[in-house]
Amino acid sequence: MGAITFIIPFIVLITLVVFIHEYGHYYFAKKYGVGVTDFSIGFGKEIFGFNDKSGTRWKFCLIPLGGYVKFFGDRNVFSQAEQEALLKQYSKADQQKLFVTKPIYQRSLVVAAGPFANFLLAIVIFTFIYIFAGKDFTPAKINEVQDNSPAFVAGLQKEDVIYSIDGKEVKSILNVSTYINMSTSDEVNLVVLRKNSELTFSIKPSTINDKDSLGNEIKKKVLGIKIAPLYNELNNEKLGPAKAFYYAVKETWFVTTSSLDFIFSLFQGKGDTSQLGGPIKIAKITGQVAQHGFIAFLSITAYISISLGLINLFPIPMLDGGHLMFYAFEKVLGRPLTQKTQEGFFRIGLFLLFSLMFFTTFNDLKDIGLF
């Protein structure tokens, strides 16, 4: 695959999810009267841009790996503890446009609006897909149980219909592999229907080196079963707006909670760190998915948008969640943390983010065969 085939889809994807994220901040800032001087997609040198009537500079910059909204008068965009010296620099009218003069709840909403805009984008995309392309509702039947496999030892049989995995109802044949591989427990709990009887099995999956549908090498959990559609018929149903919205919210919630489970499993030493990736891996997968059509590209955009929203809610200084953490301290203490204390937190946050970037970049380079 040529580099251009994945660079262009990646830039389109990252531009969209970053724009939506930053627009969430921008929308609530304007709603509460905060002045916005810059709305940037990307970092570094400006490529092109324009000024709107309110004086905001909308611009695209050279490095398209993020973006920011800069508020009027703020040296630190979201968390300015020492206010007195700052306020003296501005007239009464201009003071009303400063972010730091706003009540805690307004500042919190401005900060939280970015991540939640990403979740909303995912819901809108999934809703669109389910209305116009449909959603799969094909029941999953076990078509084969391999000899001496974990499923064979546990007692699963051919013709069993899979009802749920780890408490999640299997609505589609596509759910089976996803639910098994998203499980963070040592054992996977299956509920199957066998001749009108409901049976429960706890199975410890095997882990194998395999390739995903795009040809990327992955570690995959397997039970030793082959799945087929019940009645040998696929059931792809186009949904009405209300039903599509319901399943879009449900899918967004599933991806969010599954991602959190995976992150917690990493801290417990159970998760597979090789699955973590950075911009290079995201670009590669985006390019691969884009070749499968517009709907597939929209799907990966929704998943990346959820990831961006979720990561930004982590209570790490420099991320939105870090600023929300500062506001929580401010609410409890009755005053902001001192600038010195905040700067100490920011150094810790910077170290954590650079460590994560280094680790994911190493995984990316290993994934493309440079290590």
pLDDT digits (tens, 9 = 90+) for 350-360: 777 777 666 66
Residue 222, pLDDT > 80, answer: yes
Domain boundary among 193, 222, 237: 237
Residue 82, pLDDT > 60, answer: no
SS3 105: helix
How far is Cα 251 from Cα 4, in angstroms, rounded to an integer?
31
Catalytic residue (choose from 22, 82, 233, 343): 22
For residue 368, the model assigns a pLDDT of: 45
Kindly compute the dihedral angle of the four CA atoms of residues 39, 5, 364, 13, in this order, to the nearest 10 degrees.
30
- Kindly give the residue spans of alpha helices, DSSP state H, lying in 45-191: 84-87, 92-95, 104-132, 150-154, 175-182
Residue 218, pLDDT > 90, answer: no
| Residues 28 and 96 grouped into a single domain | yes
For 180, the domain range is 135-237
| Residues 49 and 106 grouped into a single domain | yes
What DSSP designation does 276 have?
-
Exposed/middle/buried for residue 288 (C-beta within 10 Å: 0-12, 13-18, 19+): buried
Clarify whether 82 is annotated catalytic: no
| Residues 166 and 126 grouped into a single domain | no
For residue 143, being part of any structural domain is answered with yes
Amino acid (1-letter code) at residue 324: L
| Residues 36 and 149 grouped into a single domain | no
pTM for the predicted model, two decimal places: 0.87
For residue 226, the model assigns a pLDDT of: 92
Q: Please tell me the total count of domains within the chain.
A: 2
For residue 215, the model assigns a pLDDT of: 64
Domain boundary among 212, 237, 262: 237
Across 313-357, the runs of DSSP E, i.e. the strands, are none
SS3 107: helix
Q: What is the mean pLDDT of the chain?
A: 85
For residue 219, the model assigns a pLDDT of: 78
| Residues 120 and 224 grouped into a single domain | no
pLDDT digits (tens, 9 = 90+) for 238-281: 999 999 999 999 999 998 998 888 878 777 666 665 565 656 66
Domain boundary among 219, 237, 255: 237
| Residues 33 and 115 grouped into a single domain | yes
Which CATH number does the domain housing residue 223 bear? 2.30.42.10
* List of residues 6+ apart from 122 with CB closer than 8 A: 248, 251, 252, 255, 302, 303, 305, 306, 309
pLDDT digits (tens, 9 = 90+) for 98-122: 888 899 999 999 999 999 999 999 9
20-29, 168-177, 261-270 — which is least confidently predicted? 261-270
Contact in structure between 52 and 26 (CB atoms under 8 Å) = no
19-33, 272-286, 314-328 — which is least confidently predicted? 272-286
For residue 371, the model assigns a pLDDT of: 43
How far is Cα 178 from Cα 281, in angstroms, rounded to an integer?
20
For residue 184, being part of any structural domain is answered with yes
C-alpha closest to that of 192 among 157, 225, 224: 157
How far is Cα 99 from Cα 34, in angstroms, rounded to an integer?
6
| Residues 144 and 119 grouped into a single domain | no
* List of residues 6+ apart from 223 with CB closer than 8 A: 149, 150, 151, 156, 180, 188, 190, 203, 205, 206
